[in-house]
Chains A and B, each alone.
Chain A
Amino acid sequence: MARNTLVLTHYEAEMVLVPEGPNDAKLVQALRVIVFGPHFPQRAIEPELLVGDLKAHGVSITREQSAIRGYFAHPPPDGGRVRVRYGDSLEGEVSEMFSQARIRRLPRGCGKG
């Protein structure tokens, strides 16, 4: 466990289209998880966003530093803990477990063609 506790309030999950491949020519579906809290510091240490044991990629803190988002190629299984950690320095966990039922799907027609 980390030396300090990071306060997290809730999370959101939604399917999005992300570019992939040479020149970003291809569009693929991915899951974006956004975790909210009072404050996510921008530090030397890069934060990690985890659902269960799976680490999100492309993790970034929003400009106002009240949310952090990351991407998963495939939705993690239900029941995983949603966590954000800065190495062993700072770590927090959302009280509710991850649920695929909470994922907001893509609008119809997206991701085709």
Chain B
Amino acid sequence: MVPRQFGWRIGDAIEPARWRDGNAVVSDFTHDGSASRVLRLGDSESFAPGSYQFIVRVWRPGWYLRDEMTLLPGDVVSDRRFASLVIRQRFKQRLGYSNGIVLTPQIAGRPLAHRPYFRFVNNFPKGTDVFAALDPDALPKGLVSQRAAIYVIRHKTAADWSGSNALADISGAGMTAAPKLVPIVPGCVNWNTTLVWPNPQVPGKYDIAIDFGNNAQNPQDFAADGTLDPPLDMIDGYVRVGFYVTEDPGLPGPYGGSIGQHDYALGTVQVPSTDAGPVPTDSLPLTATVRYPAQTAGVDAQCAGGTFPLIVVMHGNSGYDNSYEGYNYLLDHLASQGFIAMSIYAPVGVMIETRARAILAHLGIMAQNNMSPGLFQGHIDLNNLGICGHSRGGEAVVRAARINAAEGLGWHIQAGVSIAPTDYHHYGDAGIPLLVIYGSNDGDVAGTWPDRTCFNIYDETGRPRSFVFVYGATHDYFNTVWAPTALSVESDIAPSDVPHLISQTDHENVAKGYLTAFMQAHLLGRPEQMEYFAANLKPSALSAIQIHTSHQEPGVRLLDNFEQHDPGSNTLGGAVTGSSLSNLGEDALHALDNHSPHVTGGGDIAWQSAAGIYLSRVPNASKDVSGFEVLAFRVTQKYGSPQNPPNQAQDLFVRLTDGNGHSRALRASTFTDLPYPYVRGYTDLIKSALKSVRIPLTSFAIANLGQQDVDLTNIQSVSFEFDANSTGEIEVDDIEFSL
């Protein structure tokens, strides 16, 4: 039995959980394989509270690897990502209360222009207003007060709460106290939305507490008491963090003024040049440039105190022998944000295997540097490694992660980023969280299906996975060495495209902002930064650039992945029907639309009437979706369809209906736009590119005037209604309930 770990890989250290007496929770038993066997480990009091998984190893007496405390290829893990056992602390021990539980609803967020009028979020970039919304349909039982006081407080630890339940508001000027006294208005969340912290300037973790004070029925008698008193008072936060005020990941970080630089060239090694075996080989010079948080700026300056995650960047192919120097802007930025970032060399012309082996070779060098006296000794957090690549290097990221797993190398690669990746080999699942960044006007990996679209790398990898599609971006502008010759090398940039390209600086800001946010989320344990991929946050420098994101989590309930190629039923077996539609098809997306860059199945829905409806039924066994956070799907306008007016955004309503006949429809564009495909000079390279629409499920259940609340434990159907525009044609994939 082991503490829960996210993403087990071969070679990971096994550190058993401990009994109360300190001994490791390891149990041997014999099994003849004839029947299932139940093994009793102990009762819940025997273990410390926490989340656990189980690892089973089959061994014969005397087998030499019986006590090997790393994960071996034959070991069985109860779950790679999720906890298999949760031991809870007794309620009274945890809270010190015996009269009820603490209500911790989502409260922090931002107003929306249309229904549901409010979106709960957790990430507020510095300077963006923080709003609080009370759902009048979800107030605590026993509440009679028509007033409440809202406190924005610094997030407190469990120990802090044990010490005091006082609420110290910080939402005034200079972090002074300014709690808001608000009325509670029945009927609509829109009337219970309050700007609670304008223009926050201090990054950190915060909670929002609702103090119902003396719970006086007469509003004039209401008095706040400034303490969190369950079960009546509520808090967005408490054990978890309520919300974060964050620095823009695209701006220089705290080490910006003191970045160290170290270069090395350690001779040449032979590495396999293909994935067919150890030979043939390529000669690989081990050359790299490294940037890191330092005590002062400069070459080989002493490293700043502490340990820092490591990110390795692998370039793609070009005629320049110094391609690896083209990401210095990115290395400097990452170092300013607290990463050790390095760009590594590969010879001109080498293919994917050589580049993947280069990534792994340099991880080995840096691990050695972490052990040996010198600049980096003890400063590299080898449990949090990130890999990034551009073009052929982007595909090498997938390959390196797969080699790491297949060969049991044990590198703790926690995230990968592929910028405009090739896909010569269709390696499939990288086995790590992967972000793909791609430009709509890429003139090299330009979009020829199925190998050179960049979307296939996303479609083929596992979850979690994210995609950033940048309108007007090219291939070579992400590398400053390549940029001056980009327009002559990228032959698939048509002359008519050139005026519409975004600048080289924009490309750099895309890489800096999104790569930093992704690595902060996965290497620094900052999940709030995933809102840059899942909730439409955007680095401030890119506000004028059209960027469309996809994001998909593991552990979803997939209503329809459209792989059945049967438009009459969904993946869960529920019936799918259309009414007033001019087309309802299901097939491989590229077969439905030769402008689709995808390698998955999908649905094609066309309508020529505002009465058009697509309805997908949720079978009874799957009707409770209350454990999920969003209804998500991927969607694009079909390029070239006469039903889509050129250069106009499309829209639709998404309706959830429950078993009691209650339903609510929400406009998709309230959450994200459905843009017209990016039009470029070579029309065969125009892509009907899917993007994610992620609608929080609370949006269907919070109080909205004149709207029914949907019972999320009893969902009967999901439908798309096309009364926003009277004609249109879209492609859809992966309708799912998700975290």
Contact = CB atoms under 8 A, between A and B. Distances in A.
A89 B318 CA distance: 16
Contacts of A90: 491
Given A3-B682, A61-B349, A89-B446, A44 B491 contact: no
A65 interface: yes
Given A88-B448, A90-B491, A44 B316 contact: yes
Interface residues of B, number: 27
Interface in A1-59: 3-4, 41-46
A89 B351 contact: no
B317 A89 contact: no
A41 B482 CA distance: 12
Given A42-B317, A44-B317, A89 B448 contact: yes
A23 B317 CA distance: 28
Interface in B427-453: 444-446, 448, 451-452
A12 B475 CA distance: 33
A33 B491 CA distance: 25
A90 B475 CA distance: 16
Contacts of B489: 41-43
A42 B451 CA distance: 18
B391 A3 contact: no
Contacts of A43: 317-318, 444, 489-490
Interface string B481-500: 00000001111100000000
Interface string A97-110: 00000000000000
A63 B348 CA distance: 8
20 contacts: A3-B684, A42-B317, A42-B318, A42-B348, A42-B349, A42-B489, A43-B318, A43-B489, A44-B391, A44-B422, A44-B445, A44-B475, A45-B445, A46-B351, A61-B349, A87-B448, A89-B446, A89-B448, A89-B491, A90-B491
A86 B320 CA distance: 18
Interface residues of A, number: 17
A45 B452 CA distance: 8
Lowest 6 CB-CB distances: which A-B pairs, in order?
A: A42-B319, A44-B391, A4-B491, A41-B489, A44-B444, A90-B491
* Interface-centre pick from B349, B422, B424, B492 (highest chain A CB count, 10 A): B492
Contacts of B490: 43
Contacts, number: 55
A43 B319 CA distance: 8
Is the contact region of chain A dominated by helix, strand, or loop, or is it mixed?
loop
Given A42-B319, A63-B348, 11 more contacts: A3-B491, A42-B349, A43-B317, A43-B444, A44-B317, A44-B391, A44-B420, A46-B424, A61-B348, A61-B349, A86-B491
B507 interface: no
B548 interface: no
A91 to B, nearest CB: 10
A60 B424 CA distance: 17
B522 interface: no
A3 B683 CA distance: 11
Interface in B358-394: 391-392
Interface in B135-151: none
A89 B492 contact: yes
Interface of B: 316-320, 348-349, 351, 391-392, 420, 422, 424, 444-446, 448, 451-452, 475, 488-492, 682, 684
A22 to B, nearest CB: 8
Interface of A: 3-4, 41-46, 60-61, 63, 65, 86-90
* Interface-centre pick from A42, A46, A65, A90 (highest chain B CB count, 10 A): A42
A90 B488 CA distance: 12
Contacts of A86: 491
Nearest to B323: A42
A107 B448 CA distance: 44
B457 to A, nearest CB: 13
A13 B703 CA distance: 78
A24 B349 CA distance: 22
B319 A41 contact: yes
Contacts of B392: 44
Contacts of A3: 491-492, 682, 684
* Interface-centre pick from A4, A41, A63, A65 (highest chain B CB count, 10 A): A41
A57 to B, nearest CB: 12
Contacts of B422: 44-45
A45 B447 CA distance: 11
* Interface-centre pick from A46, A60, A90 (highest chain B CB count, 10 A): A46
A91 B59 CA distance: 59
Contacts of A60: 349
Contacts of A4: 491-492
Contacts of B317: 42-44
B349 A87 contact: no
Nearest to B451: A87
